[in-house]
Amino acid sequence: MGATVTRLFIALLGVVLWAGAIQAQPAPPVIGFMSGRAPADSAHLVAAFKQGLSEAGFEDGKNITIEYRWALGQYDQLAALAADLVKRQVVLIAAVGGDVSAVAAKRATLTIPIVFGMGGDPIKAGLVDSLSRPGGNATGFTLLTNELEPKRLGLLRDLLPGAGVVAVLVNPNFPPAAGQVAALEKAAQVTSQQLSIVKASNDTELEAGLASIERQNESALLVAADPYFDTRRERIIKFAAQNKLPAIYQFREFAVDGALISYGPKVTDSYRQAGNYAGQILKGAKPGDLPVLQPTKFELVINLKTAKTLGLAIPPGLISFADEVIE
């Protein structure tokens, strides 16, 4: 009887020690993912970021945990989102979906590593000392897409050489907006192209702006690079289709979803690289030693199905220049 009790006691002690060892294991580190965009239009970007993490040996739910914060195109929310992640004591912040997200993260912490994703110049934004040697606690990627507005205007003119007024949809609350407009107006002066600047930073203003474009019967539409417009992609594409309005956008995703034409970097590549950078930092690399990544290629995507619906004949030269033609 005594031996049986002893064996039972030893077995129970083993279970208790095993349970204690399980409880003593440290929880996986938490990284924050904050974006100026919305989750519904960013699933492919999150997947690319996770792929980059996986390439570095990290899997969400296994050896790391990712907490998400979304501004839904409302940039005044980003400072609070960044502060919340800092309070949560995350080990790294991925601040993507626009220049404002990156700046908000940088203002919130000078110690937590930041991997940013933006469309403008990170040096001018005060995020890094240089592209090759960022210094400080931040590195990441710039898509340079904010600087491509004149190129997009030129592509519209190639498509519609006789275009009258081109409507330009911009978000005045997006810090690069003033530079985008200035660059477009300068390019338009060279070719005597008339522009109509339409401003929208929320849904009410967007609806009013689209109604204004419809009333003015503009010849074409250029949607400036801006995460807010990415989050309203479906609405803007639908408007252009209903009004048979040729329009150009920044990312391939627009053309895939039915827009006529897009020109910009392959954004999923940058998010994958950002995930890989996050993994390297988790392994001990210093953000300030990792050079800021820049796109090496820009994609022109043309949706011929949409062109047919609009009754447009795409110039053969433009088609031959395209990286992808959707038929």
pLDDT in tens, 186-209: 999 999 999 999 999 999 999 999
Model confidence over 142-166: pLDDT tens digits?
Answer: 999 989 999 999 999 999 998 899 9
Residue 15: pLDDT over 80: no
Identify the CATH number of the domain defined by range 30-145+266-297. 3.40.50.2300
Residue 295: pLDDT over 70: yes
**Model confidence at 16, in pLDDT bands (50, 70, 90)?**
very low
HSE of 139, CA atoms in CB hemisphere, 13 A:
26
> Tell me, what's the pLDDT at 7?
56
**Model confidence at 26, in pLDDT bands (50, 70, 90)?**
confident
CATH topology assigned to domain 146-265+299-326 = Rossmann fold (3.40.50)
Region(s) of the chain under CATH 3.40.50.2300: 30-145+266-297, 146-265+299-326
Higher-pLDDT residue of 240 and 17 is 240
Residue 240, Cβ density class (10 Å: 0-12 exposed, 13-18 middle, ≥19 buried): buried
Residue 86, Cβ density class (10 Å: 0-12 exposed, 13-18 middle, ≥19 buried): middle
Amino acid at 141: F
